Amino acid sequence: MTKRTCLCLLVLSGIWTNASAQYSKVQPEVNTYTYASKDGEDLQLDVYIDPTFSGTENRPVMIFSYGGAWEGGKKEDGKAFLEEFAQEGYIAVGINYRLGIKKLREKGVQIGNDNFVSSYSEAIAMGVEDLFDATSFVLERKEAWKIDPEKVIICGSSAGAINSMTAEYMVCNDSPSATSRLPEGFNYAGVISCAGGVWVAGIDSLTWKKSPCPVLAFHGTKDQLVPFGKSVMGNGAFGAFGPDYFIPQFEQMEVPCIKHVFKESDHIIAMIYNNLQARKEMISFISRMVYSGEKVSILSTENYYGEAPSLQALMAGYSRRQAQQEEPQ
């Protein structure tokens, strides 16, 4: 990823952030825990809960992984998203995870064709492993936190969405990384992907040993960073599979799923978790496909009559504002 790409992702954090203002519910209580220590780094997660909750039933869990190309981002990026899910009755969890590409760049490593596959494979493996460890940490506290262990949903943006979708793929294929960290027989109840996909080294197609959990995938057809369909990189050594590839597989397996496509939009869709209407769709997805178990696939396409939302348009506007601010008065 370039410095300009990272800047795009930072600017994106200001998009679609009006959703939290729509609610007048009580402010969630937030507690921070260290769930693991690795490579000299304490990995923390924030747990958002509704302090007024007095029910006796166990609550579902929403675990959020931020984006940032494995070299930027922080758990607080999902604050508004997690606050809303806590207000909806969830145990909402935002996690930090190791940023493998950042670590390489800090060591002065230049990423090119010769080390692309190894660099990103390692970064994704670290992020997925940390997601599994955070999940295990939460599940170990199911009694104290009144958690329903069969209703753990994961959601991610960009790199966090790739971590989440790849984690589900590894669970379904009994990867040692999953089986050594998660309870026996565990699977997530659902995955919500905001411009993500399954990225795995050494394969050119996806095969599922076990049926995956329900999936809701938001994606732009012109995503320039995370393929909408299938892309084999690194001279065939690395496969990236987006919803236009894996959703048809799910339909063949009769896996409940939603593919929400934004025609002509690009990686700006990574930040759709901050959009009020998208959150309503997420809650509906969980209600219908996770709780009610509806066996249905939904394919939804948004066609814009004018210019579709894009990073290019966003950054052009940002550059214009910067130039205007720098002009002599």
pLDDT digits (tens, 9 = 90+) for 221-242: 999 999 999 999 767 789 999 9
Q: Categorize the per-residue pLDDT at 316 as very low, low, confident or very high, splitting at 50, 70 and 90.
A: low
The residues, any chain, with a CB within 8 Å of residue 326's CB and separated by 6 or more, are none
Per CATH, the number for 3-326 is 3.40.50.1820
Q: Residues 95-115: what's their mean pLDDT? A: 94
pLDDT digits (tens, 9 = 90+) for 203-222: 999 999 999 999 999 999 99
pLDDT beyond 90 at 18: no
Query: Which tokens hold the place of 243?
Result: 């919803």
pLDDT beyond 50 at 1: no
pLDDT beyond 50 at 9: no
More confident residue, 321 or 145: 145
- Average pLDDT of the chain is 89
